[in-house]
Structures are given as structure tokens and as C-alpha cells.
Amino acid sequence: MMLAAGWSRTAANLLFLSGLLFSKAAAKTSSDASATQEVALKVHLSDASTHQPLSGATVQLFANHTSVSTETSSADGNAYLRFLYRLGTPLVVSATRQGYVPNSVPWTPSRLPVFSSISLDLLPERAATLMVYEDTVEIVSGLQGLRGHPTV
């Protein structure tokens, strides 16, 4: 009888200790999920028409409509952003360059990455003229003096 009581007390202590360890591990996991961590994000920019790398483009990272990081792409079309990130925070990566239509992409990883990469294509701006008449609409791509105007 005394031996059975000793075993049940030992089992109860082991159960208590394992529960204590489990609760500490769970608390550490939940606090890690809300902690911020430095993340590196590579953004590769290219011309959507030629697929050539775009240098000199401004890349901005936004969280809650606030700029978190800004870099300029190098000759190989790459920009490297380093920033503190909290898991679950929605981010938007935006790229602009004179002569190109700006482009943005949302970025919300499901796990905290040590490194991540995004590719963005920027469309070259094209000059166009829109003329609306009573009976027709005319769209002119390029300079107005060119021949071969499409009409709709």
C-alpha cells in the first residue's frame, strides 16, 4: 500500500512538471509569434516588355500605409530591403521608376522567413491620345501625327 502511494505521488509530480514545462514552451511559442524579427527581402525589378533588369527604380515597403523601408534597385535590377517584421502584419511592396507604370504586390508570409524574394515587372508608359466625337471614339497610340489611327 505504501509503495502504491509513493508511485502515485511520483506520477503526480512528473505530471505536474511535464505540464509546467509544456505551459512554458507554449508561452514561449506565443511570445515568439508576437515578437519582431529582422527579415531580408530581395525585390527583383524588370521591364515587362523586354524582361531586362531595371536599375534606378525606387522600392518601398509599406506596413499600415506607412513606409517601413526604401531602397533603389542596382544595375542587376535587385533591391535588398532589411526590416523588422512581426508575423501576421500585412505588407505591400511598391516599385516606381520614371517612364514606367508603378506596380505593387502584397506580401504576408505565413511563417517568419530569414530571407524572401519577390519579382516585379514594370510596364513602360506609352503615350496615347483619346478623342471622343459625337459618333466615334478615336484612340491614338504614340504621337498624334502618326498614321493608322485605330477607331472604335
Residue type, 63: A
Compute the distance between CA of residue 80 and CA of residue 60 in angstroms, rounded to an integer.
Answer: 11
**CATH number given to 34-124:** 2.60.40.10
Locate the domains of the chain by residue range: 34-124
| C-beta of residue 144 within 8 angstroms of C-beta of residue 129 | yes
Per-residue pLDDT of the chain (152 residues; tens, 9 = 90+): 444 555 555 554 445 545 544 544 444 444 455 688 899 999 999 999 999 999 999 999 999 999 999 999 999 999 999 999 999 899 999 999 999 999 999 999 888 888 899 999 999 998 888 889 999 998 887 655 555 555 55
User: What is the pLDDT, as a whole number, of residue 113?
Assistant: 85
The DSSP bridge pattern shows strands 115-124 and 36-47 to be: parallel
User: What is the pLDDT, as a whole number, of residue 115?
Assistant: 84
Look up residue 128 and give its DSSP letter. Answer: E
User: What is the pLDDT, as a whole number, of residue 14?
Assistant: 47
User: What is the pLDDT, as a whole number, of residue 124?
Assistant: 94
User: What is the pLDDT, as a whole number, of residue 28?
Assistant: 46
Q: Give the E-state strand segments of the chain in sequence order.
A: 36-47, 58-63, 66-72, 78-86, 91-96, 100-101, 103-107, 115-124, 128-132, 137-141
User: What is the pLDDT, as a whole number, of residue 84?
Assistant: 92
